[in-house]
Amino acid sequence: MRLALKIDVDTLVGFQEGVPALLEVLGVHGVPASFFVAMGPDHSGRAIRRLFTHKGFWQKMRRTGAPRLYGLKTMLYGTLLPGPAIAASAPDLLRRIPAAGHELGLHGFDHVYWQDRLPHVSTAAIQAEIRRAQQVHEQILGYRAISFAAPGWQCTPAALDALVAERFYYVSNTRGTSPYFPAQGDRVWPLLEIPTTLPTLDELLGLDGRRPADFNREIVASLRPGQTHVLTIHAEVEGRVCLQDFTALLEEVQTLGITWLRLLDYATELWQQWQHLPRQAMAPNTLPGRAGTVTCQVPRETPP
C-alpha cells in the first residue's frame, strides 16, 4: 500500500499557522509530502459569491463550521479587508518546505479567481496567472516550480493548454482513480495528471453526522495492497483545528505498513512507463459533501 500526501495551502492563515504545524508533525513521523501553495493574495472573502453560483455552498459552510475552520478575518479578505499576500508574507517559511525534504508546487496565484472564474478565462489569461505564481516562487526560491495543482480541482481545455505551454513535469488538477493523460476526442495533452483519489475531510465533515474520527476510519478502510492513493488535506483544516485528528490518521495508517511518497516521486515512476498510461477525458462532476462541481477523470467504458 502506498499513499501520496498532497497538502493544499489556500489562505494566509493556512500558510502562516497550518504549514509550520504540519511540518512539525510530518517531521516527527517521517512522512514526506507535496505542498501546493497559492502564491498570490488571499481573497477568500470573495468566495461569498458561491452562495449564488454553487448549490449547497451555504449548507456546507454551516455543516463544517467554516468560521471556526478558517477564522473570521480569512472570510473577509478581499471584501471588507484587503487581500494580503500569502507566500510573500513569510519567505523563510516557504523555503522551509523543500528544505525539510518535501515537494513544493504551485496552487495558482489567486485561488478564488481560478476556482470561480476559470471556465470564463482565456488561455492567455490563465497563462498570465500561472506566470504570476511562478514569479513569486522564483523570487523566493531562486528556481521555477515544476508541479501544479489546480485550485478547487477546476480544470478546462484552456487551462491544459496554458499548463502545457508552461512545461510542468506533472499536474494534479482532478479527482479520479489513477494517473492518466487528459484527452478530448482525438486530442491528447502531453501533461501527466495524477488525480486525488480519496475524499477530503472538509467535504465529509458533518455529512450524515461524520466526525473527523469517522473520516479517518473511512480513509483507512479505502487503502488496499497494490494501490497508490492520493489524499489531499488542507493546511487551514488539518494544520489547525483538526491537527490532532490528522496526527491520529498518520499514526493509524503507519501501523498498516504504508509506504509514503511525494507526488513528484510518483510522477518520476510514471514517466518511466508513460506509454502504458491511459488517455482519458475529464469533465465537471459533483462529489458527496462538496458544493458545486469539480473536474473529474471520466471512467473508461467497459467493453460488453
Judge whether residue 303 has pLDDT over 80. Answer: no
Distance CA 224, CA 144 (A): 35
Answer whether 289's CB lies under 8 Å from 218's CB: no
As a residue count, the chain comes to 304
Beta-carbon contacts of 296 under 8 Å, excluding residues fewer than 6 positions away, are 153, 174, 175, 176, 195, 282, 283, 284, 285, 287
Q: What is the CATH number of the domain that holds 80?
A: 3.20.20.370
pLDDT (0 to 100) of residue 135? 98
Q: Mind listing the pLDDT tens digit for each residue in 18-70?
A: 999 999 999 999 999 999 999 999 999 988 777 657 777 656 666 777 777 78
Angle between helices 157-165 and 123-141 (to 10 degrees): 40
Answer whether 42's CB lies under 8 Å from 78's CB: yes
Instruction: Write down the residue that cell numbers 488517455 correspond to.
Output: 279
CB-based burial label for 298 (10 Å; 0-12, 13-18, 19+): middle
What does the mean pLDDT of the chain come to? 94
Assigned domain for 155 exists: yes
pLDDT (0 to 100) of residue 226? 92
pLDDT (0 to 100) of residue 61? 64
Which band of pLDDT confidence, cut at 50, 70 and 90, is reported for residue 212? Answer: very high
Judge whether residue 250 has pLDDT over 90. Answer: yes
pLDDT (0 to 100) of residue 94? 98
pLDDT (0 to 100) of residue 47? 83
Answer whether 252's CB lies under 8 Å from 231's CB: no
Assigned domain for 303 exists: no
pLDDT (0 to 100) of residue 161? 98
What values do phi and psi take at 227, rounded to 5? -105, 150
User: At CA 190, angle to CA 119 and CA 37, rounded to 5?
Assistant: 55
- Which residues form the domain of 242? 2-297
Distance CA 41, CA 235 (A): 16
Instruction: Give percent above pLDDT 70 in the chain.
Output: 94
Residue 183: strand pairing partners:
188
Higher pLDDT, 18 or 76: 18
Q: Say if strands 187-188 and 181-184 run parallel, antiparallel, or are unpaired.
A: antiparallel
Q: How many domains does the structure of the chain reveal?
A: 1
Among the listed residues 11, 4, 12, 8, the one whose alpha carbon sits nearest the alpha carbon of residue 22 = 8
Answer whether 65's CB lies under 8 Å from 206's CB: yes
Cβ density class 187-219: b for 16+ within 10 Å, e for less: eebebbbbbbbbbbbbbbbbbeebebeebbeeb
Assigned domain for 45 exists: yes
Mean pLDDT on 129-133: 98
Assigned domain for 302 exists: no
